[in-house]
Structure 1
Amino acid sequence: MTVVGKFLPLLGWVLAGVLMAEPASCESWVDLNVGSELQRPNEQTVVDQTALVRLNTRYSAPVGITLNAHYGLAHRVRLVDEPGTGIAAAQSTGADLRLWDLPTELWRSDGDTWVIEQNLDTLHGVFYWGAQEFTVGRQPISLGVSRQFSPLDVVVPQRIGAQERSYRPGVDAVRWRNPLGLTGELDVGWVFGQDNLLFARATQQWGTVSAEFTALTLNQAQWIVGLSTQTFAGDWGLWQESAWLHDDVLSGARITLGADRSVWSDVYVVAEYHYNDVGDAENMTSDFFQKGLVTLGKQHYVALNASATPSPLVNLNLGLLHNIQDADTLLLGNVGRSLGNNTQVDATIEVPLAKQDSGTEFAQIPLRLAVLWSTVF
């Protein structure tokens, strides 16, 4: 048993004693999502019906402790099936940053057309000691400031073209945050599983400029140091995020430059350029790629995005990701309409503008159409 595992029962008894000693408040809610999805991988057509139920609870004690838990059950049924398109088993990619986990797959039908999965995505406690904040357990962690191409957001980074940027999978970690003056913060964390990641982040603001310095290491083998800054000029928001990567095999820089602003009163536009010095086919066997610290395989990228609210109930979003070297492009679109309090329907499309046998990066992403109904209660 690991050292962490030996102390988990003791921690549980301590928490139980503290929480029972003081009156507390507890809130619970359920996220429900039901939808259908059409994909065209390798010139085949598959249609899935999906449903997800996520149970959420937050328990707050007056002594300065908050406990959070999110548990999800998901099922997927393949409605249109072609030879060789059975539902693949859920697999984690990149670094393993969970010390323990529940079995992902609960049940699978004969023929692989129906699968039920589970995910304990969040289970952590937040402890407050004066201005300090300690978070222990399974929690989402995001770093960096870039919108689409972040050299520093490497703890289970978002997939290419992800439109739902707010969701982050949980990892097992211990994290400490402490204010630095009135506008700064020191943030230190240890993320552990089969792989171990240590990070330290310091933020500070001077006038209209905010800066964030980040250093991290995975397994004390891969190292990343970076600096992010944000400011504005007139109506434009501006940011840059630069990182230097190094291990015994590979060294190089990754840089993102970005800008955003509102135009025509109700349209918000975002643009980013990303330079990936380590983007080369010869580097794909490096642990930077194999462990998910770098997800882009080429050197020059552009992202453009525009969102609008033509009415209080309707949201529109159009995006484009472009690989300058290959002229490889991925188009993204989303239309969302509110159906009432906490209920919405969304239609999403992802269109790669390249043949799947071309070998280009975005061509590996299948054409995808999805409709999703979601509510919270």
Structure 2
Amino acid sequence: MERPQIPHARTHVTMQDVAQKAGVSAQTVSNVVNGRTERVGAETIDRVTKVIDELGYRLNQAARSLRRGTTGIVGLGVPVLASEYYGELAERLSHRFRESGIRLVTENTGGAMTAEVESLAASHLETYDGFILAIAASESADLDRFHPTTPIVLLGERAVPTRFDHVLMDNIGGGALATGHLLDRGARAVVALGGSNAGSPSVQTLRTQGYVTAHRERGAPVRSDLIVNAGLHLPDGYEAMSRVIADGTEFDAVFAFTDASALGALRALADHGIRVPHDVQVVGFDDVRESAYSVPRLTTVDPDNDAMADEIVRIMLARLQARTPGPGGAAAGVAGEEPVRRVMPTRLIVRESTR
């Protein structure tokens, strides 16, 4: 007796249903669904995927996770979602994890210490196989009381316990590159937009160190009135640059500590009839996509964004594969490998905003 056709609207379609209609084994369907297609012909793959679409088959992720003891999800905690830099970082990481069959879920910590430390709590990490946290406010002591068994990769410039994997960029070197580029092109009064000489290591303090280093290497004086403490986002750059202009401060160049603040500064300069780069040269930091499309196109420091994303994913995948507790009880060590600290190099991308 011929088996009746499976209704299109059937709620629970099994892998065996797909296999029967496609005329293949359930193992072949499993191989196609899970991306193990090295020994599956193109015609078979096409036939199986068409049947999957026709029947509305969906892989039971919950059941698969229970069998594997995993969730198939890695979390990413960032200080702000409405950010050019963090948005592009999340996109890069998402693409790379997807290639390994892992979903990336992004959370907003708001740059608050309480939210950052809570994201490392065991109850929160139950949701994830691993977690990547961009540190904006927490100190090493805040993080040192956590000994998660879930693999953790920390990002950012703040000091963190050495038992955690840590990926960061060369902020001092990048700051020196940006400032040196301006001084070497004739600038004599460079505004450090977002600068700070006080507090724990951060984007502001480290890039300020690079700013100061570039001046000292060239025997140029450092004017404290040109180190402008400001936020790092687009409105911050606009408002801080507008204040500098309104105050009558003499300057002929701007090193904005992020591309976002640099774009805000460009708008403020344009609003006041100041030409870039003719009157004032501008350099940013981060090499976000918008920097190549501003008017003029923005000279910027590239912290090797693609290589950084590659390194973060490489470390996390190695931890997930090993799941071997590291020093101090944290799942931070791959067998035979100590926790990793990677400082990514920077390079200057020269465009139209400098002479």
Q: Same fold (TM over 0.5)?
A: no
Q: Which has the higher helix share?
A: 2
Q: Which has the higher strand share?
A: 1
Q: What is the TM-score when the length of structure 2 is the normalising length?
A: 0.21
Instruction: Tell me which structure has the larger Cα radius of gyration.
Output: 2
Name the structure, 1 or 2, with higher relative contact order (CA <8 Å, separation 6+): 2
